Structure 1
Amino acid sequence: MPRSDRSALALAGLLAGAGVLHFARPRPFDATVPQSLPGSPRAWTYASGVAELALAAGLAAPRTRRTSARAAAAFFVGVFPANVKMAYDWRDKPAPLKRAAYGRLPLQVPLVLWARGVARGAGQGREGA
């Protein structure tokens, strides 16, 4: 299996796992939804879980991989405000939780770059397939 396929499938697995968690354990995600958004936090939690599952499915399929990878990069940028809110809200939590919340912030950059790399690599190494 080409490296680009492995990378895309790994990103799909990460997104699928996160998407499932939005339904299995929604409460922590609800707490990260900015209050300025209309509707209930749970609706936004479920909507983002659906988005992650859809992105994962799109990344898993070579035909939709490039578009899905670009959408995943945009998604990672779009959820950054929720990560900032979480870091702010958890500023008074115990040190391990605070580190986890702050640690999520710089992780968005490699996630965006990973998704962009998958988009660039989509279709490479598939000659004769």
Structure 2
Amino acid sequence: MRAGLRILLAVFYAYAGYRHIVGPEPFLLITPAWVSMPEQVVLWTGIAEIAGAIALAQPCSLRLRQAGGIGLALYALCVWPANVNHMLMDFARGDGSLSGGWGAAYHVPRMIAQPLLIWLALWTGRVTDWPLTVRR
């Protein structure tokens, strides 16, 4: 199960990275105002997602998979402010138009999923076994 989820997560991040690079506009819309050089940040976040996905997906080196898992977990933590900003912008609009009108039904699960994505990157990258296996 872990290997399958690892590949699925790698595909998810590779596609997300591709979207950041070829179509940065939606990501620029949700980038907090305090982020300097947002175009470059969005480009490099896309590159980071692709690099992490490649490291996580490869079958040969546990250390490289672990580095990919740690990198993607840190990435998910670092982009969380953009997700929070997106939620606050959307809720402030009232009509939910920024996120396609999904409102709380979109943003609440997204906020809950962020820590899960962080854990999943670490677990599938074999950085941690917690909470499924207790190390002795």
Q: Provide the secondary structure at the position in 2 that maps to 1:97.
A: coil
Q: Give 1:88's aligned residue.
A: 88
Return the offset for 1:29: 0.2
- Report the alpha carbon displacement of residue 101 of structure 1 after superposing the two structures with TM: 3.4
1:115 aligns with 2:115: no
Contact persistence 2:5–2:124 (CA under 8 A):
yes
Q: Equivalent residue of 2:35, what SS?
A: coil
Q: Which runs of 5+ in 2 are unaligned?
A: 129-136
Match of 1:103 among 105, 109, 121: 109
> What is the match of residue 30 of structure 1?
28
Q: Contact 1:23–1:49 (CA<8 Å) still a contact in 2?
A: yes
Which of 29, 43, 50 aligns to 1:46? It is: 43
Amino acid aligned to 2:9: L
C-alpha spacing 1:13/1:38, structure 2 compared with 1 (3 Å): same
- TM-score w.r.t. the length of structure 1 is 0.82
Deviation at 1:83, TM superposition (A): 0.4
> Aligned residue for 1:126?
none
Aligned counterpart for 1:55 among listed residues 7, 31, 52:
52
TM-score normalised to structure 2 length: 0.78
Counterpart residue number, 1:8: 6
Q: Report the alpha carbon displacement of residue 14 of structure 1 after superposing the two structures with TM.
A: 0.6
Give the structure 1 partner of residue 133 of structure 2.
none
Contact 1:65 1:119 in 2 (8 A): yes
CA distance in 1, matches of 2:41, 2:108: 22
Indicate if the aligned counterparts of 2:69 and 2:127 stay in contact, CA closer than 8 A.
Answer: no
Contact 1:30 1:44 in 2 (8 A): no
Deviations 1:10-44 (A, max 9, x none): 110010111111123211100121211222x2211
Identity across aligned pairs (percent)? 26
- Point out 4+ residue stretches in structure 1 off by more than 4 angstroms: none
Structure 1: 5+ residue stretches without partners: 123-129
